[in-house]
Structure 1
Amino acid sequence: MGNPYVLPGRKEGDSVKELKTTWRAIRRKAGLEEVRLHDMRHTFASIAAGAGASLYVIGKLLGHRNPATTQRYAHLANDPMRSVGQQVADSLAAALTPKAPEAR
């Protein structure tokens, strides 16, 4: 059936117990020696926020127990807020723009 974990452990059906060595090998193979796990988590949160996910959902996906931990990612939500703000502004502008009389 296979191992359900992205990073399988040495025993069948088990996950990696010590990530440091595994992460080092992954970075070396990928040519990303300077990338930290925190960078990956931050990028994940950025993409989720950019897709409009709430901080609550992002926190759950990252495994944060305390919502305050996820609030450090609050600045990431600026793009979705800007996008929604622009959509509202565009809708208001369209609603307030006089319509040309219909040709008969």
Structure 2
Amino acid sequence: MKEEVTQNYLEKVKAQIAKLQSFSIVRIPREENIEADYLSKLAIVKEGIIPPNAPIRYLELPSIFALDVQVQAIDYSNSWTGPIVDYITNGTLPDDNVKARQLKI
């Protein structure tokens, strides 16, 4: 059962990675990630013995069975926010010098 759940997680991760332009894994030192440190300790302790102050959440089902969330894209092209979004994301300024100056301010 454990291997099956792990395999399901791996498949979900691979599917999400395939949607990304780039992907990297960064090691975070244990001192900088207290929750992960507690989880690693919980994995090796005997049942019923939990480190003090351990943040624990009980899940009814493994999170692998959680519903996929869909996000709807927003079209800013015909909105007053379009030039602002273009400037922030791409550095693109409007052709109109007055509007371009307003964005820079």
Instruction: Normalising by structure 1, report the TM-score.
Output: 0.24
Instruction: Normalising by structure 2, report the TM-score.
Output: 0.24
